[in-house]
Structure 1
Amino acid sequence: MKTFTTRVVAVSGAIAISLGAAACSKSETPATGASSSASAGASTPAGTTSSTTTQSSTGSQASDILDKAKTNALAATSGAFVGQVDQSGKTIKIDFKGTSDGKTADISIEMEGDGKARVISVADGVYIQGDATFWKKQGAPASVQKAGDKFIKAPSSAGSMTESLSLKSFLEKAFGAVTPQQLAPTVGSENVGGVDCWVLTDKKGKSEGALYVSKDKSEVVRFTGSSDSPGQLDFSKWNEDLGIKAPEASQVMKIS
């Protein structure tokens, strides 16, 4: 089940890099942003796991829990997740908030050796903020490399890529990597940050991947990776108003 975490973050990193390259290839004068700014910085992961117990169960129960979690996740209108994975020997950190339809998203990515980037997608466009390392890796013009903490508005040509920013797109790719055949027949029971969860693990054991699903709402709470590809993503804010807005005009760098 390690591929769930690696797929989600790999897709996120690819989007940030692609949008960054698009922003560098053709500049347009940024439009005025919304009045409220979106705050930078990653969210704090969910609380630590505690009070572990297990219970015997048939494989069908594990399959049913997986099915309900997948159905609820794909039906959600919005959601958020935060965490990190090790991929190809590098650590990638992600903080994602977005809607299922992809119309709004706020994604922060930190890629070891490739810098940090933040992508905000709203109705009037896509805004990208990157550190010096990120913009240098994208081969950005000198003016963009001096943007500091300013956002750059991506050209309209990047608009077609925003569909990939949808929560549903992420989840479809991620759940596509998890099958009932991978699950151990025993379902665990743990408390994660105050939420009672069912714990589905890989047949090889918890160290090779686990999915935590809330008992009361069948919502995904956490995914963990394997010993070879460690990682953890904590999910929250299902079906909530995420308050995503464009950066203030003063936060957007004008490119001549």
Structure 2
Amino acid sequence: MSVTPRRRIRRATVLSAVCALAVAGAGLTGCSSEDPDAGTNGVGKLPADKIHAKARTAAESAGAVRLHGTVAAGGNTYTLDMRLKPDGGTGSVAAEGTTFGLLRVGEQLFLKADAGFWSNDGGDAAAAEKLAGKYVKVPQRDPAYQKFSGFTDKDVLLGDLLSLHGTVATDGRHEQAGVRTIRITGDEGAGGSLDVSLEGTPYPLRLVRAGSAGTIGFSDWNKDFALKEPAKDDTLDYGKQLPTS
């Protein structure tokens, strides 16, 4: 039986009304044919390995970034809040019940902590009081330099953190801090997951590391910040080796 134009119009009107009520009342989007990639940077249409590559390239090219979260390494869990640039970084690290500040400008690394940090593991109490609250210059040959400088090195830190293990695949669209993302995973999540921005430059926004080895958020991409050595009267230099190393 043929359908008259008037009946076709009435049917379309009723269907539109039903869709509008469903969306308004239940938050449903099934009636919409809108392209999910409309208004995005387009990386959501790419294969997972290409999304991963673009995110890493964007991160490497950025002039600055802030990262915050937890990283498990060497039997310890570190809570980081660091701002990084190609020539250094500054921020705080918490581990084993203590928090200390790190500042690196070029090759010069400074560590700032309270007396409890310096007197840990039987350190000299008198020296610890002298070091407390000061920027202590860390000699490049001291073991502490190798241990802590990586936390201030943008290329080293991001190169390690942005790795996913196993077969990489996409895992749907998500949102981080109000920004739409595409999530990629390694081995269906067992090898870690990475949320990549669908808005503007495809920067990494959130990483869940493989093996429950921590979760890191990334923000303030390309947002510059001051990075300079501390004042001399606020700095201590012990020469070739720290007193508690």
TM-score bucket of the superposed structures, by smaller chain = 0.5 to 0.7
Q: Of residues 67, 73, 86 in structure 1, which corresponds to 2:59?
A: 73
Describe how 1:8-157 pairs up with structure 2 within 5 A: 61-86=47-72, 91-100=77-86, 103-113=87-97, 115-123=98-106, 125-137=108-120, 140-146=123-129, 147-155=131-139, 157=141
- Quickly say closer, same or farther: Cα 1:141–1:172, change in 2 above 3 A: same
Any unmatched runs of 5+ in structure 2?
1-26, 30-35, 37-43, 240-245
Q: Radius of gyration: which is bigger?
A: 2
CA distance, structure 1, for counterparts of residue 178 and residue 164 of structure 2 = 26
**Deviation of 1:249 (Å):** 4.2
CA distance, structure 1, for counterparts of residue 117 and residue 221 of structure 2 = 30
**Deviation of 1:190 (Å):** 1.2
Normalising by the residue count of structure 1, what TM-score does the alignment of the two structures yield? 0.62
CA distance, structure 1, for counterparts of residue 46 and residue 180 of structure 2 = 20
Task: Check whether the contact 2:164–2:193 (CA below 8 A) recurs between aligned residues.
Answer: no
- Quickly say closer, same or farther: Cα 1:143–1:154, change in 2 above 3 A: farther
Partner of 1:214: 197
Partner of 1:247: 230
Percent identity of paired positions between Structure 1 and Structure 2: 25
**Deviation of 1:109 (Å):** 1.1
CA distance, structure 2, for counterparts of residue 208 and residue 178 of structure 1 = 6
Give the number of the structure with larger relative contact order, counting CA–CA contacts within 8 Å between residues 6 or more apart: 1
CA distance, structure 1, for counterparts of residue 217 and residue 56 of structure 2 = 15
**Letter matched to residue 61 of structure 1:** P
Q: Of residues 155, 164, 172 in structure 2, which corresponds to 1:168?
A: 155
**Deviation of 1:195 (Å):** 1.2
Partner of 2:216: 233
CA distance, structure 2, for counterparts of residue 123 and residue 200 of structure 1 = 34
Any unmatched runs of 5+ in structure 1?
1-50
CA distance, structure 1, for counterparts of residue 106 and residue 214 of structure 2 = 32
CA distance, structure 1, for counterparts of residue 114 and residue 70 of structure 2 = 19
**Letter matched to residue 167 of structure 2:** Q
1:218 counterpart SS class: coil
Normalising by the residue count of structure 2, what TM-score does the alignment of the two structures yield? 0.64
- Quickly say closer, same or farther: Cα 1:126–1:212, change in 2 above 3 A: same
Partner of 2:164: 178
**Deviation of 1:178 (Å):** 1.9
